[in-house]
Structure 1
Amino acid sequence: MPETNLLLPPRADSLARFREDFGQRFIVTVDTEEEFDWNAPLDRNRHGTQSIPALQTFQSFCEEFGVVPIYLVDYPVAASPLAAAAIGEAVAAGRAEIGVQLHPWVNPPFDEAVTPYNSYAGNLDFDLEREKFARLYHKIVAAFGTAPRIYRAGRYGLGRRTAEILTEFDVAIDTSVRARFDYSASGGPNYRHHPLHPYWAGDDRRLLELPLTTVYWGPLRQLGNAIYPALWRIPRLRGALARAGLLERIPLTPEGVTTEEALRGIDVAIDAGLPVLVFSFHSPSLAPGFTPYVRSDKDLDALYDWWRTIFAHLARRGVKPGNVANILSSVTLAQNGLPS
């Protein structure tokens, strides 16, 4: 059987079909992780979990809008009793879903040096990547009493054989591909040519890839994949193109993306017929002082205002909240040819 390599763009016939009654939906994925100094080198020991209780506030906020957040949990969070206390009841009741996020430098076994290259789990020896995943998976099951069905590699660091590990553990969705981004300069993957549309990873169609949503906006957007890499070392020119309204790369995240930019990106994605819009952000941004994006209470209020505006706009555009359960149901029924 040929291997499934998530690092490679898929064949055109691998794009997933959804039932007609699925429409267009969005999901909110939370990289639920420890706090650390974003400006310092990665460190195996210098991190904290003080922001975990803030998940409870975000959970209550999402429930007001009928949104089921997907918490992609890494090892320090899964190992903390604060996590189950904050969102365990919501997960058990189906008002939230749990997934896996692997940060290898803080995830046992610690058999590798802490380096930028090794921070991409897919760069590790296959047996070590699998063992780290296995320990994290079982820690999450023990903490939340449910088997996670969705995965995101920390730093989007998929490997050539990561799909093998996911299918072994019956993980049905990967959401590690950050389309339109290239991390190869630091030893990571290049996702510049991967599609935004969900696709099946492998001929057996056991693993669905759900790329994070990033779009190009502006009259030059069709040339985005050619222009952006050429200007990567000249951010001044990229900024000039954005200010002139010619070309802008917009990831769907409240971190570093204004409300106005996000609304433009959402409209591009909806008008392109994308079946699932994938939003993401980091859980430490839910408390002031732990990420560059939320330094104060004012910043935190702005983050919640961002989400209020986005949820309202999505509702006006007829885009409903989605989750792992209804995504898998729709693609499975469509794959089997069952009618809407």
Structure 2
Amino acid sequence: MTNKTDLVFILSVDTEEEWDWNGPFPEKDFSVENLHALPQFQQFCMRLGIRPCYFVDYAAAKGLDPSSEFMQLVQKNTCELGAHLHPWANPPIFEKPTEENSHVVNLPLTQVEQKLDALMQVFAEKFEYRPRAFRTGRWGISAEIMDLLWSRGFTVDSSVYPFYENEYFSCQGSPTLPYWPATSDVLSCGEQRNILEMPVTVGFNRQPFELANKINRTLDSPNLQKVKANAILWHSKLLRKIYMSPEVTSSSNMISLCDSVDTQKQPIIHMYLHSSNLIQSGTGVMDSEEPYALITRRIKNVIEHLKKQHNVTFMTLSEAKVHFQTNPRFIAA
């Protein structure tokens, strides 16, 4: 195929403890067995050229051995470590975890500040590493948290989950491209140039995304949920909301999203997953007996598809921030 267009590919990995996502939040004795899968996974990424950003939370940071094979790969600049804040696993602990306070965006800023400083201390003391990229636990961000991140030296955030909302937070209305968040409304473009927002890739198999999202939200209303209208559209392939995540989305659907994004000439694909899904029964979400093989096969299929149509450049979050900052025409305005 001639006339290939340039495309930036980012893979971010929430690197954290495993637990049953359908059960209560863990409060002690955090299991991080999935960390043993990271060296193999990073080697897989290196073979494809991918330069992941591992968003490491407190439990995972405490569980990582600074002399491990994985950390040796980090030190060789094959990937990047970012910071990831899980309120229930990150001291100081202020209250029993609930669905609402499990979202960092719902915590008092003083709590976020203390937890973030405790997490940064582990990075500094254990790894002599200062992360520049950040993602909140369970998505969502506020202007106050963004200011806090800047004060702690972060330059890129990836807490915005386009087209997503629940009763505890919303990212509806956010750009889908990298953008400079406004100081008054972090889901809108603004004038500050301290922190670049790098949303993950979410969209639909139909264009335009804004209209598809409006239909999807309407059909997801309580009355229409009873007739399972969105499920009917999904199975008929008339309208599918697709997440660029190999732990919940098939290769074919992610490729469909890539093609849909390509019609908008978007210069970036940002895929994401959780390290805990690299092992069997790590979250209870994947029912595969070989989740690692399934996830890596899906990633490989997407990469092979993208390379047929694009000149793909693999970047960490911080590298992508510099790239888009020096190529502002690709930043949402």
Q: Could you tell me the TM-score, scaled by structure 2's length?
A: 0.88
- Quote the residue 2:245 is aligned against: 253
Task: Give matches, 1:204-223, under 5 Å.
Answer: 204-218=192-206, 221-223=209-211
| Paired residues of 2:7 and 2:313 also in contact (CA < 8 A) | yes
> Kindly tell me: are residues 243 and 35 of structure 1, through their superposed partners in 2, closer, same or farther at Cα, counting changes over 3 Å?
same
Listed one character per residue, the Cα deviations across residues 53-111 of structure 1 (whole Å, up to 9, x for unaligned) are 10111000000011111100000000113476242111111101000110011100012
- Quote the residue 1:12 is aligned against: none
Q: Does 1:194 align with 2:174?
A: yes
Give me the identity figure in percent. 27
Q: What is the CA distance between 1:284 and its match in structure 2? A: 0.9
Match of 1:151 among 134, 154, 173: 134
Match of 2:305 among 305, 313, 318: 313
Task: Give matches, 1:121-160, under 5 Å.
Answer: 121-160=104-143
- Quote the residue 2:284 is aligned against: 292
Q: How many residue pairs are counted as aligned between the two chains?
A: 312
User: In structure 2, how many angstroms separate the alpha carbons of the residues matched to 1:214 and 1:35?
Assistant: 24
Q: Does 1:330 align with 2:310?
A: no
User: In structure 1, how many angstroms separate the alpha carbons of the residues matched to 2:200 and 2:65?
Assistant: 28
| Paired residues of 2:132 and 2:318 also in contact (CA < 8 A) | no
Match of 1:111 among 51, 75, 94: 94
| Paired residues of 1:84 and 1:144 also in contact (CA < 8 A) | no
Task: Give matches, 1:8-47, under 5 Å.
Answer: 23-45=6-28, 47=30
- Quote the residue 2:39 is aligned against: 56
The DSSP-based 3-state class of the residue aligned with 1:127 is: helix
- Quote the residue 1:10 is aligned against: none
- Quote the residue 1:13 is aligned against: none
User: In structure 2, how many angstroms separate the alpha carbons of the residues matched to 1:103 and 1:96?
Assistant: 22
> Kindly tell me: are residues 81 and 213 of structure 1, through their superposed partners in 2, closer, same or farther at Cα, counting changes over 3 Å?
closer
The DSSP-based 3-state class of the residue aligned with 1:51 is: helix
| Paired residues of 1:221 and 1:247 also in contact (CA < 8 A) | no
User: In structure 2, how many angstroms separate the alpha carbons of the residues matched to 1:84 and 1:75?
Assistant: 18
RMSD of aligned alpha carbons: 2.1
| Paired residues of 1:220 and 1:247 also in contact (CA < 8 A) | no
The DSSP-based 3-state class of the residue aligned with 1:302 is: helix
User: In structure 2, how many angstroms separate the alpha carbons of the residues matched to 1:154 and 1:217?
Assistant: 28
Q: What is the CA distance between 1:295 and its match in structure 2? A: 4.2
- Quote the residue 1:7 is aligned against: none
User: In structure 2, how many angstroms separate the alpha carbons of the residues matched to 1:135 and 1:66?
Assistant: 33
User: In structure 2, how many angstroms separate the alpha carbons of the residues matched to 1:307 and 1:314?
Assistant: 11
Gaps of 5+ in 2: 183-190
| Paired residues of 1:198 and 1:208 also in contact (CA < 8 A) | yes
Greater Cα shift, 201-210 or 217-226 = 217-226
| Paired residues of 1:122 and 1:160 also in contact (CA < 8 A) | no
| Paired residues of 2:22 and 2:284 also in contact (CA < 8 A) | no
